[in-house]
Chain A
């Protein structure tokens, strides 16, 4: 991709050191909270990107899996005393299972109808969870019991621990994306994303590939759901199935660079930092500012640089290379 392998390796190592050492150096709880948010939403974006970025299946209903993951682990924890670590995996399995009928329904549609259908399914799930109290506390939701320090139940007393868990999730997502990018599946995904009919014409089994990537994407999103609830200590249907999560998943990927490995990460860093700055400048005294800015950024990206930040950096890099007369 860019530069030699050694160069890449060096960058990655430096990055890894910085990222690993961050919570040890930075003491402010507030700052670590921001980092955790960045890690978590990057992860959610990466999960979305597998489907929405590479295969161009633009879902705005990923909150469905987020919520399913969150509720599965919470129900297992509170009703059966099962550790959220296991619950997280169980949540992922539930999400994968749900993605099959949802996928069957939604993949019959193309383009914006697919998007609308995904929005509808996430909303429908929220309504279901709101209505049925016996299932999962209904509308009132519930808090996670305070266990103090209980790492085996995914409750930590220090923020740093949450940071590392989130980091682990992100690394998982990035590694999976990286592997897929380089595999046959990756090529199929991109082919489907570019032109599904043409891809099928040359023998790509589009329905099966779409189904498979949806399984992976939903599984990962569900993991994020579990973590999130463990972090904020509270779950209710509007929080777990929040449309904003669906939006942010897509938003960070598009702004950062749809269909790229690091796109969602960079997009999240930009958007979360912007949002934090806005919060501190305006103190949240005027409602709607953050989303106004987000939507302006999104529009700007779409109108002028649909390839996102990654695309912009790539272009800049190309120009840089082409300027130098000769390279060693």
Chain B
């Protein structure tokens, strides 16, 4: 019986790694640029499609395609910030909310137009394999995804805390005006933030390809979980988003196991609504880190 629990926890943890990659991007953008990127899921989708095409046309393994998707999405992030988001940064909420929302709709439907709703799948040698240890099974592709996700998160944390640019980003996140006075160019910092966030989303996409199918709506599924994790972990708190994502993956998995297979989402929503009701600033202590 404990096997079932342990397996459920492992399942949840592994998928939580993917949620983490997506949610860290959202929380980073929120922390630094102070807007919510509703389109984050669509960038995951773009990452998936890039990996798919590289794989089906050139036979490149999705993991190797990380080397392509991450830079490409980084550039996309810079472009999005520079040409779109920059224009709506102001005191008014409405344009900010609806701009990224419209972007999300746009990307999703463009994908629908260009690629149709068909599912695209990649089969690698390790796609359907798993490690069997002590009666538990750990799918290879998911483990790799988890490990890479943790590495990337760790790298980001190091970047934010040790490099000048990273510290500049945190400074801009904490107090934009003072940061500007100290000579930090907010737009440049925002471009980097968007770039990194979208690169992480693209990475999530590539990591998903070995075991998940690409289709236009795929981003929506992940972005919902990401948003909940962001709120749970406190907006702007990267570590918080990471931990919250892992927790949510586990909660969802346990929920499916013990409450009901259609209750995964309900459990997650319950977590969200409870947090909003009693600790709206999230469990991360309310500070941007």
Contact = CB atoms under 8 A, between A and B. Distances in A.
On whether A and B touch (CB less than 8 Å), the answer reads yes
Interface stretch (A76-84, A103-111, A176-184, A212-220): A103-111
A151 interface: no
Interface residues of B, number: 41
Nearest to B35: A112
Contact of B276 (A105, A127, A299): A105
B132 to A, nearest CB: 35
Contacts of B1: none
6 contacts: A58-B98, A60-B101, A106-B276, A112-B93, A123-B265, A306-B95
A111 B97 contact: yes
B266 interface: yes
A195 B227 CA distance: 26
Given A58-B98, A111-B36, A117-B273, 16 more contacts: A105-B273, A108-B276, A108-B280, A110-B93, A112-B35, A112-B93, A112-B97, A116-B231, A288-B113, A288-B216, A291-B105, A295-B109, A298-B102, A302-B95, A302-B99, A303-B95
A56 interface: yes
Interface of B: 35-36, 84, 87-88, 92-99, 101-103, 105-106, 108-113, 116-117, 216, 224, 227-228, 231, 235, 262, 265-266, 269, 272-273, 276-277, 280
B92 A287 contact: no
Interface string A49-75: 000000010101000000000000000
B276 A109 contact: yes
Top 4 A-B pairs, shortest CB-CB distance: A288-B112, A288-B109, A112-B36, A295-B105
Contact of A303 (B88, B231, B266): B88
Nearest to B265: A127
Interface of A: 56, 58, 60, 105-106, 108-113, 115-117, 120-121, 123-124, 127, 130-131, 247, 250, 254, 258, 286-292, 294-296, 298-299, 302-303, 306
Contacts of A291: 105, 108-109
Contacts of B36: 111-113, 115-116
B269 A120 contact: yes
A249 B196 CA distance: 33
A83 to B, nearest CB: 34
A254 B102 CA distance: 12
Contact of B94 (A106, A247, A254): A254
